[in-house]
Each structure stands twice: as C-alpha cells, then as structure tokens.
Amino acid sequence: MAITRDEVAHLARLSRLALGDDELDHLAPQLDVIISSVARVQEVAAEDIPPTSHSVPLTNVFRPDERQPCLAPDEALAGAPAVEDGRFRVPRILEEE
Amino acid sequence: MTTSSAAEATSRKPRMTRMTPYDEAMGRYEPVLGLETHVELGTATKMFCGCPTTFGAPPNTHVCPVCLGLPGSLPTTNRAAIEFTTMIGLALNCRIAEWCRFARKNYFYPDMPKNFQISQYDEPLCTDGWMDLAADGKTFRIGIERVHLEEDTGKSLHVGSTGRIHGADYSLVDYNRAGIPLVEIVTKPIEATGALAPQVARAYVTELRELMRTLGVSDVRMEEGSLRCDVNVSLMPRGASEWGTRSETKNVNSLRSVERAVRHEIERQAGVLDAGGTVVQETRHFHEDTGTTTAGRSKEYAQDYRYFPEPDLVPLAPSPEWVEQLRVSLPELPSARRERLQKEWGLSDSEMDALRNADALDVVEATVAAGAPPAQAYKWWLNELSRRATEQGVELATLPITPVQVARVAELVAAGTLNDKLARQVIEGVLAGEGDPDEVVRRRNLAIVSDEGELAALVDAAIADNPDVAEKVRGGKVQAAGALLGAVMKASSGQADAQRARELILEKLGVPS
C-alpha cells in the first residue's frame, strides 16, 4: 500500500478539506492507485534519461509590471478559519518548550 | 501559572560568558565575514501577480488569489523584476545565467499562505561578481557569490503577553507583503579585514544601498524593511588558515547596527574562545536597544525545505541581446559618480571617505545643487549636522533639515548676514522646527550687526572698558586689537560683523588698517 486511509485523512485535515468517512473510503484507494502508478513511471527512469522539470519547451513567459485588481478584504479573508482585525488569525506558531 | 512562568524565566536566564574587549580580541583573532542582504524591489506590482507593492496599506488589501495561494491560481513572472535583478547582477560584475529556474522552498510557517515560497536555489540568475569599497582609506574587493530572486513573505503580528513569537497565544497575518519581489545578495567569505571588519561590513551595505538607489531598483528604506541584512561572523586564531564556526545574526536593519552587530559578535565569540569554549553554529537575533545579540533556538530554523524546480513557472533564459541592452542602459554607478564628484568638489581622499562614512554624499550633492559652494555644503553637513546625527543616534538624512535649507544657511554666511557661530544657531533652530533659515534668523534675531551706528557704539564701549589695551594699540601694538574685538563680540553675543568691527577699532585708535 502506497498510502493509507489514515494518511489521507491527515492530509485532508492539513489541507483544510472536510472529508467524511464515506469520502475517505472512496478517495483513499484511488490515491493509492495514483501513487503506485507514478512509482511505476519512476522505475523506467534510467541514467540516460535527463530529469525533466517542465513538460512544455517554453522559457521567458512574463507579464508586464502593471497593476491588476486585488480582492476586497472580506473576499480575501472569506476562506480563513479565523479572522481578527482584518488579518488571518493562526494558531500559536512555536510550540511551548 | 505565575509560579511556573517565574521558574521558567529563571531557568532561561542566559549564562553570561565574559566578552573580550575588541582590541584584545583583534590581537588574537582574525574575523571572517559573510553578508546576506535582502532588497525589496521597487516594481509597481508583486513578483508573480498584479497586486501593488506600496508600503503601509491596510492589512490584506493588496492580495489576490495568486499571492494568497488559492487553489487554481497560477503565478506569472514580472518582467521588470527580472530586469531589475539582472541590472543588479551587472552592476555587481556578475555572470548572468543563460538559463535558470525558480525553485519551490517548502516550509510550514504561516507567513506564506501557500506553505512554500518561490525562490531560486541552485540556479541563481546572477553569480560570481565583485564590488570594490573603501574603509578607513583602504580598498577592499568584496566577492559576490550570488544574486537571486525570490518573493517576500507576509508580516506576522504575535499576540500574547510577550508580543513576540515566543510565548505568543496566537498570531495575526497580513499578506500585503507576501509576493513582493525580493532580491538576495550573498557575499563570498570576506577575509583579511582585520580590525576593520565592522567598518567593512557597514561600508558594504552602504555601497550596496547606494547602488540600489542609483539603479532605481529599490527605495532601500531600511526603516521600512526594504533592505534587510543577515550578518555572518566567525573567528580564527591569527595565523590560522582554517575558518572558525560562524554565527548568523538575522535582520540587522540599519547601517549602524550592521557595524555594531559585527563588533559585538567578534567580542562575544572571542570571549567564548578565550574561556576555552567553542562557538556554536546558530542563528542569533540582534537587539537595537543594547547592540547585542542573543541565540535563537536552533530548532526553529533546522529545516529541510525540500527544494524542487517550481512546476508552475517556465525557466528563465535571458538572451545575450537582452542582457546587453540592460548593460548599456545602466546609469553612472556610485563609484564612478564619487570619483567625478570628488574631482568637481576638490575634496581629498580622506574628506571623501568622511563624507561617505557619514552617509552624506546625497545631501551634500543636493545642497550643492541648491546653490551652496561645495566647501560650505561639506562643512555644514560633515562638521555640524553629522555630529548631531551621531549624538542622536539617527541617520544623517533623517535629520529634520533639508539640503535647500542648508544651502540657504551657506548663502546667508556668504552674504555676510551670518557668521559661523550664528549659522550654527540657525541650524539649531531649523532642527528644532522653528521654520526655514530666514524665519529662524528673524525670530531669534540672529543676523550679524553690521549697522555702523550700532557697531561704533559697541567699539566705543570696548575701548572705554579697556583703556590699557587701547593704549597699547595706539602705541602700534596692532595684535592687541584682538582683545578689543573679543569684547565687542562678547557684548554683541557674537553677532557683530567682526571684520567691520576690527576696522572701526583701528580707525578709532588712529592705526592704519
């Protein structure tokens, strides 16, 4: 098994995705299949195949230094689990010793 | 709760190692420096999205799906940021990469909403350059390891009894700054500075700041955090060839602090070594108020960033033509400008050094541009204002007096309205917020007394009060007139036109002047 149901539940929590038990039952095996398939691709990568970081042969894709509209503050903060004074409120960053 | 935190405070009290006085440390050890400087670029928009970069906006008003890392959003590189970084690289005599990639630096800290920062890792845009600088009359060539581009992070506000990240109950994050293009400039190890290490470090950051300003790529306001410095210091015994263990002092945010941080680290590390200890490789924090550093806890920073090529951005491949175009568009660089100004102003090397050490080049140039003779502009900024700035512990340019006002003072001196002593009082008035020089002269009634009647009365009084001296002058001892002039100056609180008063004294005593 490449990934367990518990690990998927953990990742979902980290990603702030509310997955129910039935969804986990459904998605965890699918993810397992995907990861196993990618692992098979890795098996064929040999010394003579250079690593590829990008799938398209493009370079220098730029935008001009021009302003675009921003989100309104309430839109920006809409997805935040907690908000205070127009800022994202996050749990204590460093653990107590 | 109270008792446990009190106990904790006691146990956290740092063990004091005696510091070794600087000169003593320099007798035994040779420092090696490394400087990492972050410069926020002055582009109109962020690195990978069109949000503005202006400082001081209400929190989370300069954000969009890209810089908030919302699902489905994709970054696009700001062309101006690449050009600015290339210009910096060229000005620092670097090699510009023909091909390079951005990298994703993964970490779990909420100052980036994406849980990663787009940076450059093993393929920086610019590498292997150098910069020459002078410190204490000596020239040093500082090697530049790399110049790379990344995005700045958000700002965290830590809420709790300490107001700092340690002991905070929770934190509040503003992502306005997240995604602003940030250039990191890393030096090669700087050796053989000897006791000048602190000055060399300061001169380097000064030079870099001047360079950024000249290139127009950043407003380099250290107080707003658009230029931030990490200072690495290690010591090795004199004569040794193997470097010692270094400490890395983070976020040193003024020129003066850079100098103080290096000096403090030298004294501290020498103290550790002298006591038979070993220097720990660690991150340290600089404290502006005391000029000292304290250890950060290493586990905060001991991270594996799992760098990998950024999949959402295609590689950069600046063409030689593009780079050449940028090279020819570079403005006159600070070193060339200094050479030119030194010639124009007729200053000696040591005067020029003093000017730079006081960070006074721009204000003096502006003062000369406002009409002051170079010698006067130099004199007032260097001898008068620089001393006051040092006394107050502030940067010269932040004193509440403008080059135009200084030029006006110089003009009043040249016109004979003020002498140096009065001019000093006028400057004092301007600094105290009493208005422009002319206003201060009027309000404080500071102009030189050149009215013939007033002067004559002062001279008569001085002669009457000092009959013996007057007699000597009459008898041909002209030098003695100095005492009478002194009396006139004293009686007029220094406001008498000294030259005219002297003429009057001699005239009245029948001595040809």
Supply the CATH number for residue B463's domain.
1.10.10
Range among A92-96, B288-292, B326-330, B391-395 rated most confident: B326-330
**Which residues of chain A neighbour B76 with C-beta distances below 8 Å?**
61-63
Q: Per the CB < 8 Å rule, is B44 touching A65? A: yes
Of B8-17, B325-334, B503-512, the one with minimum mean pLDDT is B8-17
**Same domain (yes/no): B243, B361:** no
In A, minimum Cα distance to B60 occurs at A73
B129, B93 contact by CB (below 8 A) = yes
Q: Is residue B2 part of a domain?
A: no
Q: What is the pLDDT of residues B161-208, one digit of tens each?
A: 777 777 788 999 999 999 999 999 999 999 999 999 999 999 999 899
Task: Note the pLDDT of residue B303.
Answer: 61
**Same domain (yes/no): B149, B205:** yes
Query: Residue B314: what are its φ and ψ, rounded to 5°?
Result: -80, 160
A-contacting residues in B 327-386 (Cβ below 8 Å): none
Alpha helices in B17-173, H assignment, sequence order: 22-28, 79-91
Q: How much is the average pLDDT of B379-395?
A: 89
| Residue where a domain terminates, one of B292, B322, B352 | B322
Pairs from B236-245 (Cβ < 8 Å, separation ≥ 24): B236/B29, B236/B30, B236/B32, B237/B28, B237/B29, B237/B30, B238/B27, B238/B28, B238/B29, B238/B30, B240/B30, B243/B32, B243/B189, B244/B29, B244/B32, B244/B269, B244/B273, B244/B279, B245/B278, B245/B279, B245/B280, B245/B281
Of A68-72, A80-84, B160-164, B291-295, the one with minimum mean pLDDT is B160-164
Q: Judge whether residue A15 has pLDDT over 60.
A: yes
Smallest Cβ–Cβ distance between A93 and the set B80, B109, B308 belongs to: B109
Q: Per the CB < 8 Å rule, is A88 touching B172? A: yes
Q: Is residue B268 part of a domain?
A: yes
Q: Which residues contact B45 (CB under 8 A, 6 or more apart)?
A: A65, A66, A67, A68, B51, B52, B53, B78
- Set out the domains of chain A in order of their start, with CATH numbers: 5-44 (1.10.20)
**Which residues of chain A neighbour B166 with C-beta distances below 8 Å?**
94
**Same domain (yes/no): B354, B471:** no
Sheet holding B103-106, edge to edge: B116-119, B103-106, B308-309
**Same domain (yes/no): B387, B467:** no
A-contacting residues in B 96-115 (Cβ below 8 Å): 99, 101, 109-110, 113
Q: Judge whether residue B498 has pLDDT over 70.
A: yes
The separation between CA B326 and the C-alpha centre of its own chain, rounded to angstroms, equals: 27
Token pair listed for B161 = 């009894």
Triad B390, B262, B131: Cα angle to 5°: 90
Mutate to test the interface with B, among A11, A84, A88, A96 (most CBs of B within 10 A): A88
Smallest Cβ–Cβ distance between A86 and the set B58, B101, B169 belongs to: B58
Q: How much is the average pLDDT of A51-70?
A: 92
Q: What is the pTM of this model?
A: 0.75
Q: Please name the amino acid found at residue B419.
A: N
Q: Per the CB < 8 Å rule, is B168 touching A94? A: yes
The shortest C-alpha distance from A32 to chain B (Å) reads: 22
Query: Residue B316: what are its φ and ψ, rounded to 5°?
Result: -95, 135
Q: Is residue B392 part of a domain?
A: yes
Task: Note the pLDDT of residue A96.
Answer: 54
Q: Mean pLDDT, chain B, as a whole number?
A: 89
Query: Which helix (H) or strand (E) element contains residue B206?
Result: helix B197-215
Smallest Cβ–Cβ distance between A59 and the set B52, B167, B317 belongs to: B317
Smallest Cβ–Cβ distance between B315 and the set A54, A77, A92 belongs to: A54
**ipTM of this predicted structure:** 0.79
| Residue where a domain terminates, one of B444, B460, B476 | B444
Q: Is residue B390 part of a domain?
A: yes
Q: Per the CB < 8 Å rule, is A59 touching B99? A: yes
Query: Residue B441: what are its φ and ψ, rounded to 5°?
Result: -60, -45
**Same domain (yes/no): B62, B173:** yes
> What is the C-alpha to C-alpha distance for residues B123 and B439, in angstroms, rounded to an integer?
59
Task: Note the pLDDT of residue B199.
Answer: 94
Q: Per the CB < 8 Å rule, is A68 touching B45? A: yes
Q: Is residue B479 part of a domain?
A: yes
Q: What is the pLDDT of residues B79-90, one digit of tens each?
A: 999 999 999 999
Q: Per the CB < 8 Å rule, is B51 touching A79? A: no
Q: Per the CB < 8 Å rule, is A73 touching B44? A: no
**Same domain (yes/no): B440, B457:** no
Q: What is the pLDDT of residues B109-167, one digit of tens each?
A: 899 998 899 999 999 999 999 999 988 878 999 999 999 999 999 999 988 877 777 77
**Same domain (yes/no): B499, B433:** no
Whole-angstrom CA distances from B81 to B106, B140, B281, B322, B395 are: 22, 29, 34, 14, 29
CA atoms within 13 A on the CB side of A67: 9
Q: What is the span of the domain harbouring residue B389?
A: 332-444
**Same domain (yes/no): B174, B289:** yes
Query: Residue B235: what are its φ and ψ, rounded to 5°?
Result: -125, 145
Q: Judge whether residue B4 has pLDDT over 70.
A: no
> What is the C-alpha to C-alpha distance for residues A8 and A11, in angstroms, rounded to an integer?
5
| Residue where a domain terminates, one of B423, B444, B465 | B444
Q: How much is the average pLDDT of B325-353?
A: 92
B179, B66 contact by CB (below 8 A) = yes
The shortest C-alpha distance from B57 to chain A (Å) reads: 12
Q: Is residue B4 part of a domain?
A: no
Residue B323's closest CA among B89, B166, B109?
Answer: B89
Domain count for chain B:
3
Q: Mean pLDDT, chain A, as a whole number?
A: 88
**Which residues of chain B neighbour A70 with C-beta distances below 8 Å?**
51-52, 61-64
Q: What is the pLDDT of residues B48-78, one digit of tens each?
A: 999 999 998 999 999 999 999 998 999 999 9
B15 band by pLDDT with thresholds 50, 70 and 90: low
The shortest C-alpha distance from B81 to chain A (Å) reads: 8
**Same domain (yes/no): B117, B217:** yes
Please identify which residue in the block is written with the tokens 């309000």.
Answer: B443
B126, B97 contact by CB (below 8 A) = yes
**Same domain (yes/no): B95, B225:** yes
**Which residues of chain B neighbour A59 with C-beta distances below 8 Å?**
99, 314-317
Q: Is residue B167 part of a domain?
A: yes
B478 band by pLDDT with thresholds 50, 70 and 90: confident
**Same domain (yes/no): B280, B298:** yes
Q: Is residue B502 part of a domain?
A: yes
Token pair listed for B98 = 């023909």
Q: Look at the alpha carbons of A89, B102, B181, B69 in this order and tell me if their dihedral is positive or negative.
A: negative
**Same domain (yes/no): B45, B122:** yes
